[in-house]
Structure 1
Amino acid sequence: MYYKYFGLVESPFSISVNPRYLFMSPRHRDALAHLLYGVGSGGGFILLTGEVGTGKTTINRALLEQLPGNVDLAIVLNPALSAVELLATVCDELAIDYPKGHHSLKDLTDALHRFLLNNHDKGRKTVLMIDEAQHLDFDVLEQIRLLTNLETDSEKLLQIILIGQPELTEKLGRPELRQLNQRITARYNLEALSLEETNAYIRHRLQVAGLPSGRELFAPGVVRAIHKRAQGIPRQINLLCDRALLGAYGRKLDRVNRRHVAAAAEEVFGTAHASVNRSSVPPWLWIFSGVCFGGLLLLLAVGFRAGPSPMPVPTAADNLINDASVNAADSGTDTVQNVGARSEPQAAGWMINEARALEQLWQLNSDAPFPAEVCSGLENEPDVDSLRCQQGTAQVWDSVIALNRPVMLDMQTPARFSAATLVVAFEGPLAWVLSNDGIKSIRLVDMATAWRGRYRMFWQPPQGWNRPLVEGDIDPAVAVVAQLFATLDQQVTPLTKQRFTPALAERVRLFQAQNNLTADGVVGVQTLLKLNDALGKGLVSGAALRRAQWLMEGP
């Protein structure tokens, strides 16, 4: 991708956990020191909290690497368990034998107690780490507290590390959990990076990725913009930097500018995140703006009476193009038709030959040569360049818009000939299409009568995935999907390998609910598309629009 263009040897801002990119800010070092102290002090509970993406997994990895050799560690990554299931998971992690099939809390506690006593006699320590602990039920937390009653005269036999989001601190502050809260011997809340730490973090990742000395990709002003929009959260910094570099690459620029950051923020976080906070604007500026706006309305009214103005009125969609293409206004080439200048239905500008539309759709998604017989409709059609053709039908625009990908629509001309329309992106009631005249905005209402309800698109499925996966399936693709969720959650170990376990099904349902999908636990195309979006894989609409503009202008 873009990294070679900037002299890098690999992508510097991947959200997957890579130990080579470990960045320990002063905040991370303080957090690690608190955890190491808690483990060494022989106390009961250690607490680490922080917002999503602040680097808790980074701390976990550093802690694991620095634990002494005489420590046995059990890690629970899925806390959505009952008390019995949690104890069984701990026993499994520590390879403790216990009665299989029907087993009680007493059976499991007795087996764990015997193991802890034997470990203590051998001079070994036992540590239990529970991630996402804010999801633990109250009765499970109480059972965990009881585990710390297993002790000798001098120390606890089991050290417990609770890791979670700030809600965990609020939960532990409840009166019914005061006994557990009082047993916490070390606690640390991991906060976001400062501006200086953000600058050091970005520099560190670029250097690890092989940035040549003396080259600067992010000027100080751009770093300030990234820090402000990402709020100092490392994961969001990664997403913004990655998309901003992609934008600069698409424009063949040597450095990222603030326009790239703004476009990246809109793509990653949505328009609401990129909007101006009204409370931060001085009241006098709103008054001044109101006066100017009133004057503008008056001028428009006068102009309307005098006759239509030949100057087209820019729309929000025009701004989207301008944000993605710096200095496009200075080029003197008008490739984007204004929304107000409607194309007549009989004009074939936005309805083109099917073969040409399919080839252009491929060029949007891949730099590889256009393959023969792609999207032929044959069963088990092989993937090309890791891309798969997805064909489907839809009754309403909402279904196609939800794909968040460029699509080729099967159309019918007024003379009842077959045609196609290549939609690069949707924006409200408009579609941005590649036409004979360049990129144009077309109203969906004008396209509706010609659309036959069929679409085609390219996407990147997990390796080996050929059918929807359901709980109980045993398939190599299950391991790939589990690893994708582990990457998304910044977890070292996936929930499963080749068997689709109840734990993975629950994680899938949670993800589906968060993304407004049917929470059925089935890993199908829609779920994988949203998972790709969350991981930054594939050509989403915003990036497709910028790439289309770049392809139209030429390298």
Structure 2
Amino acid sequence: MYHQYFGLSEPAFSIAVNPRYLYMSDQHKEALAHLLYGVGGGGFVLLTGEVGTGKTTIIRSLLEQLPENTDIAMVFNPMAEVPEMLEVICDELHVDYDRNRTSVKALTDALYQYLLDNHRRGRNTVLLIDEAQLLSPEALEQIRLLTNLETNTQKLLQIILVGQPELNRLLSQPRLRQLAQRITARFHLNPLTLAETRAYIAHRLQVAGLTGDRNPFPPAIVRKIHKFSGGIPRRINILCERALVGLYGHNKHKVDSSIFRLAKKEVVGSLREPGARRTPPGWVLVLVPALLLIILAAVLWPQSQREPASVPQAPVADIAAEPQVAPEADVAPAVKAYVIQRLPVAQTLLLREFGLPENNAGCWQGRGSDLQCETERLDTWESLTQLNRPVVLTLTTEERFTAYTVLVALAGNRAQVLDESGERIEVPLKELGPQWTGRVVYAWHRPPGYFGPIGEGDRGPAVNWLASQFVTIDGQNSPLTDDRYNRALAERVKIFQRRAGLEVDGILGQKTILRLNEMLGLDPTLQWQEQP
């Protein structure tokens, strides 16, 4: 094992969240202090930061420092509508409510009674919402109203919102100004400086058991790591991990330029170097050709008046990049049966594909803990094909209303979607495409004990699950490991990733799990069914 080669007790740069490795820079200390302030009765507290800056690690550190008299409800994927979100909060706090009466008022009344009882017992109640940028304005407004639950002297519920920078833009909307005014403390996590990057790397090595005089990262290499990673801790971890593996493979003890280039080459598919050349945005690719056509038309217009010419039509964009818009006359009103007006109906139909009964809203109501619900924005039908699982598509109808449909199969230029009764309807992509906003919601079975990417050296139920899946796939007599993610299991994962066309890193992440679930039949796929 490479970490033993360096005398480390465990991998120093695992991307699994571990509060022991939390590097408390001045800004991280301040961020944690803000969260503890919120737990202590500070009202609304807001923590934002780019992906990978350490927000989740700070949350885990907060959980380890919670006062004993604190009850906390944690919402990690807040995509549900208002009633469902209130149910999730009530379920997290074990609030007793009538499951046959799940209106906003009934749920709020039950929550208020619980908070009063908790207050009488001398207990504080905290609501922490991660990925809060996914909340709708309506849900944020309802959360604001929850802070109206109070006694004469104190708020009964303290709320912590954690999210990406988009959350600040969301809260700047005029209709959310009342909520924004109630935020008593806010903090934004910035990327690490060069000095902090140097200290961060040394800190993780020290926690893993390496003394400072044996640090394999010279100052010149640390500068390169900082420049390439942009100071994002998660990116630093990935790059340093690859560099240490490179040292082990080449029997070296100090990272030099050649090892750094090899490590950088391995991760360049998932990390983009600051300042690297980027693909122009889609609007540039559309606008520039359009302007050129206008200029060309202005030049040729006088000639066209003297001598009529036959101008060939511009080619229609590929449907995978931008679905074609069919002429209005070609759209038959009958096919509009697939449009679903209410999101909960579409969610129920989606989870029915997972075998859940209609009265079980799965991961949207905190039930069915093995299911994980995700929201994502995709650009093409091809990306949906690669995802290869039923999804809820968010639509904008011709009347400019938001609606939904459940896509369950794709084949060529056709799709199969569900109507509200669950019957499959075949729809041309050229009709569905102009209505699709790009937003999708999907679900997947999460392995037991899985809360984020795991790799070599990690332990737990998710490792056991992974090893047992390869027993099934390979027809083995025994798993590659008992409970520790060892080199043999990592190499088997790499083989699977290579065959599946995934990034080959030997780490069990969400994309690898999705492909495993697909192969083992654990999740439904976009399977076309011929209609009678």
Distance (Å, rounded) in 2 between the aligned partners of 1:66 and 1:265? 37
1:183: Cα distance to partner?
Answer: 0.5
Distance (Å, rounded) in 1 between the aligned partners of 2:189 and 2:204? 20
Distance 1:206 1:189, change over 3 A: same
Does the aligned pair in 1 maintain the 2:221–2:255 contact within 8 Å?
yes
Distance 1:216 1:273, change over 3 A: same
Query: Which range moved further: 259-268 or 83-92?
Result: 259-268
CA deviation string 1:505-544 (max 9, x = no partner): 5369989969953343567978995787577359xxxxxx
Alignment correspondent of 1:236 = 235
Does the aligned pair in 2 maintain the 1:262–1:274 contact within 8 Å?
no
Alignment correspondent of 1:536 = 507
Alignment correspondent of 2:6 = 6
CA deviation string 1:401-435 (max 9, x = no partner): xxxxxxxxxxxxxxxxxxxxxxxxxxxxxxxxxxx
Distance 1:182 1:275, change over 3 A: closer
Does the aligned pair in 1 maintain the 2:202–2:212 contact within 8 Å?
no
1:23: Cα distance to partner?
Answer: 1.8
Alignment correspondent of 1:16 = 16
Alignment correspondent of 1:471 = 354
Distance 1:89 1:139, change over 3 A: same
- Report the number of matched residues: 328
Alignment correspondent of 2:73 = 74
Alignment correspondent of 2:258 = 259
Amino acid at match of 1:536: I
Alignment correspondent of 1:224 = 223
Alignment correspondent of 2:272 = 273
1:223: Cα distance to partner?
Answer: 0.6
What TM-score results when the alignment is normalised by the length of structure 2? 0.56
Query: Structure 1: which 5+ residue stretches go unaligned?
Result: 280-469, 475-481, 483-494, 539-555
Distance (Å, rounded) in 1 between the aligned partners of 2:164 and 2:260? 27
1:64: Cα distance to partner?
Answer: 1.8
Amino acid at match of 1:506: E
**Aligned-partner SS, 1:69:** coil
**Aligned-partner SS, 1:129:** strand
1:244: Cα distance to partner?
Answer: 1.1
Matches within 5 A, 1:165-244: 165-212=164-211, 214-244=213-243
Distance (Å, rounded) in 2 between the aligned partners of 1:276 and 1:250? 30
Distance (Å, rounded) in 1 between the aligned partners of 2:505 and 2:33? 32
Distance 1:94 1:527, change over 3 A: farther
Distance (Å, rounded) in 2 between the aligned partners of 1:498 and 1:28? 34
Alignment correspondent of 2:388 = 518
Distance (Å, rounded) in 2 between the aligned partners of 1:164 and 1:53? 11
Does the aligned pair in 1 maintain the 2:497–2:504 contact within 8 Å?
no
Amino acid at match of 1:517: L
Does the aligned pair in 1 maintain the 2:76–2:129 contact within 8 Å?
yes
Does the aligned pair in 1 maintain the 2:228–2:274 contact within 8 Å?
no
1:260: Cα distance to partner?
Answer: 2.4
Query: Structure 2: which 5+ residue stretches go unaligned?
Result: 279-352, 358-362, 391-442, 446-468, 470-495, 510-532
1:238: Cα distance to partner?
Answer: 0.3
1:151: Cα distance to partner?
Answer: 1.1
Distance (Å, rounded) in 2 between the aligned partners of 1:472 and 1:239? 37
Distance (Å, rounded) in 2 between the aligned partners of 1:204 and 1:213? 9
Does the aligned pair in 2 maintain the 1:133–1:168 contact within 8 Å?
yes
Tell whether 2:156 aligns with 1:157.
yes
Matches within 5 A, 1:425-436: none
1:251: Cα distance to partner?
Answer: 1.5
Alignment correspondent of 1:506 = 374
Matches within 5 A, 1:277-316: 277=276
1:255: Cα distance to partner?
Answer: 1.2
CA deviation string 1:367-411 (max 9, x = no partner): xxxxxxxxxxxxxxxxxxxxxxxxxxxxxxxxxxxxxxxxxxxxx
Q: Which has the larger radius of gyration?
A: 1
1:191: Cα distance to partner?
Answer: 0.7
Distance 1:108 1:528, change over 3 A: farther
Identity between Structure 1 and Structure 2 (%): 54
Tell whether 2:51 aligns with 1:90.
no
Query: Which range moved further: 156-165 or 246-255?
Result: 246-255
Tell whether 2:36 aligns with 1:65.
no
Distance 1:174 1:528, change over 3 A: farther
What TM-score results when the alignment is normalised by the length of structure 1? 0.53
Amino acid at match of 1:104: S
Amino acid at match of 2:49: G
1:265: Cα distance to partner?
Answer: 2.5
Amino acid at match of 1:26: D
Please tell me the root mean square deviation across aligned C-alpha atoms, in Å: 3.6
Alignment correspondent of 1:110 = 109
Alignment correspondent of 1:48 = 47
CA deviation string 1:80-104 (max 9, x = no partner): 1111111111111111111114421
Amino acid at match of 1:168: L
Alignment correspondent of 1:366 = none
